[in-house]
Amino acid sequence: QKEVEQDPGPLSVPEGAIVSLNCTYSNSAFQYFMWYRQYSRKGPELLMYTYSSGNKEDGRFTAQVDKSSKYISLFIRDSQPSDSATYLCAMRMTYNTNAGKSTFGDGTTLTVKP
Amino acid sequence: NAGVTQTPKFQVLKTGQSMTLQCAQDMNHEYMSWYRQDPGMGLRLIHYSVGAGITDQGEVPNGYNVSRSTTEDFPLRLLSAAPSQTSVYFCATRGRGSEKLFFGSGTQLSVL
């Protein structure tokens, strides 16, 4: 079983819709939670990150972490065609022996139709 | 400021050939890493380094070697290419105290 599970989709929504992307994980030692966006034939780019549980908002994007359920979400409000990409969740522990490693989900492919 | 530069962008190898994928960064980041990305398997960590002279294995290290003689460069060597190594390879770096991984643009490798 993978440490991080993410529904690959694909997910197709109309422009203006609210999008919900989710990941579950099994390792309770994960403390940092990230969302990356990857456009076709490009490297991933960090969209948002949160430490431990809670919410974080940045413009149209909101990241939520529920450590008790081992579940993280990314919400996109007023989705735009330019949001069409693959979204990858990533997680990292904090103690030194694994400080360098980020574990990624498989990614969810999102298409926003005009 | 180029960020993370990967070369080559595309490469085709025959089974058994060896080659080196180059990764260079100009951001003075201590942490550098190599991932491979395959359909349905996401990004998997191959090797990583937390500083010059220090390397460690990731999730899928077999068939790959790395070295880190300078802060700027972190080459990935394929010793004897196999079709199972057909993938897109990404180099990623991170600065001290930051959670943000900076990715290169990737190398598309095909092994025939």
| Most B CBs within 10 Å, among A37, A104, A108, A109, to test the B interface | A104
Find the mean pLDDT for residues B33-57. 91
pLDDT at A95: 56
Q: What is chain A's pLDDT, residue by residue, as a tens digit (114 residues)?
A: 788 999 878 999 999 999 999 999 999 989 899 999 999 989 999 999 898 888 999 999 999 999 999 999 999 999 999 999 999 999 988 755 456 678 999 999 999 999
How far apart are the CA of B109 and the nearest CA of chain A, in angstroms?
A: 13
* Tokens read off for A40: 């076709």
**Ordered alpha helix ranges (H), chain B:** none
Please tell me whether residue B45 adopts helix, strand or coil conformation.
strand
User: Can you tell me the distance from the alpha carbon of A2 to that of A52, in angstroms, rounded to the nearest whole number?
Assistant: 20
CB-based contact, A14 to chain B, within 8 Å? no
pLDDT at B26: 95
- Residue numbers in B near A8 (CB within 8 A): 40
CB contact (8 A) between residue A100 and residue B31 = yes
**Beta strands in A1-114, from DSSP E residues, in sequence order:** 4-6, 11-14, 19-25, 32-38, 45-51, 54-58, 61-66, 71-76, 85-92, 102-104, 108-113
| Cβ atoms < 10 Å from Cβ of A30 | 23
User: What order do you get walking across the sheet with A4-6 strand by strand?
Assistant: A4-6, A19-25, A71-76, A61-66, A54-58
User: Can you tell me the distance from the alpha carbon of B9 to that of A86, in angstroms, rounded to the nearest whole number?
Assistant: 20
By CA distance, what is A37's nearest residue in B?
B103
| Cβ atoms < 10 Å from Cβ of B53 | 10
Q: Residue A58 forms beta bridges with which residues?
A: A61
Task: Please state whether the peptide bond connecting residue B75 to the residue before it is cis, i.e. omega within 30 degrees of 0.
Answer: no
**Quick one: what percent of chain B has pLDDT higher than 90?**
86
pLDDT at A100: 64
Sequence-separated (6 or more) residues with CB below 8 Å from residue A114: A15, A81
CB contact (8 A) between residue B101 and residue A102 = yes
CB-based contact, A6 to chain B, within 8 Å? yes
By CA distance, what is B6's nearest residue in A?
A43
